[in-house]
Amino acid sequence: QKEVEQNSGPLSVPEGAIASLNCTYSDRGSQSFFWYRQYSGKSPELIMSIYSNGDKEDGRFTAQLNKASQYVSLLIRDSQPSDSATYLCAGANSGGYQKVTFGIGTKLQVIP
Amino acid sequence: DAMVIQNPRYQVTQFGKPVTLSCSQTLNHNVMYWYQQKSSQAPKLLFHYYDKDFNNEADTPDNFQSRRPNTSFCFLDIRSPGLGDAAMYLCATSLTGGSYEQYFGPGTRLTVT
């Protein structure tokens, strides 16, 4: 079974620190990876996509992908209390239709 | 703004009473998905439409049905809701030939009494 694994947390970081969220995946056919932010009671919001090995930066967010290790991460710099949410990692393979497999999500708490 | 809209945002139904949830999109995406998400769990794919082609996940209960009358609208029918069907139902869309990014609507919170 193709899986995306995340530590459910909670991960607590002080305001202004770097939050590091990690994810591993089992399907070597996965080509595309996504990070979604989900506030309690709300729907997932796409914040980052990454398709190639290496780093991708967007503002305070950096996504990292290592396909050899089947590992994806999200760094949030200068963490703010408003970043407190659950972060879902997801992967999609290139075959067939666009099925995306989601992880359970890591709950991040940014402490003021 | 282009978006995914879900109605109603909150739905309360009685055990066994059929309910229909709706989703519409102005993104002009050709793929539409229905997910079920329970508390502290990953979204679970129920169905997706690839253009007009309907695809049912193998473990989606028969109690769940879906319709897509046109490219902009999609419906989720729960024929006889049970207490275990209480969840957030999420509609998402994506565009083939693109990046596989899925965009979610705000969700419908279903309560079964």
Of B100, B105, B107, the CB nearest to A100: B100
CB-based contact A44:B107 (threshold 8 Å): no
- Tell if the CB–CB gap between A100 and B107 is shorter than 8 Å: no
| A29-65: pLDDT as tens digits | 888 999 999 999 999 999 999 999 999 999 999 999 9
| pLDDT for position A31 | 86
| Residue A95 pLDDT class (50, 70, 90 cuts) | low
Gap between the Cα atoms of B16 and B55, Å rounded: 25
User: Distance (Å) from the C-alpha of residue B48 to the closest C-alpha of chain A?
Assistant: 9
- Tell if the CB–CB gap between B102 and A100 is shorter than 8 Å: yes
Across A39-94, where does the E strand assignment appear? 45-50, 54-58, 61-66, 71-76, 85-93
User: Distance (Å) from the C-alpha of residue A112 to the closest C-alpha of chain B?
Assistant: 24
For residue A97, give Cα distances in angstroms to A94, B34, B94. 8, 14, 11
> What are the two backbone dihedrals, phi and then psi, of residue B83, each rounded to the nearest 5 degrees?
-60, -30
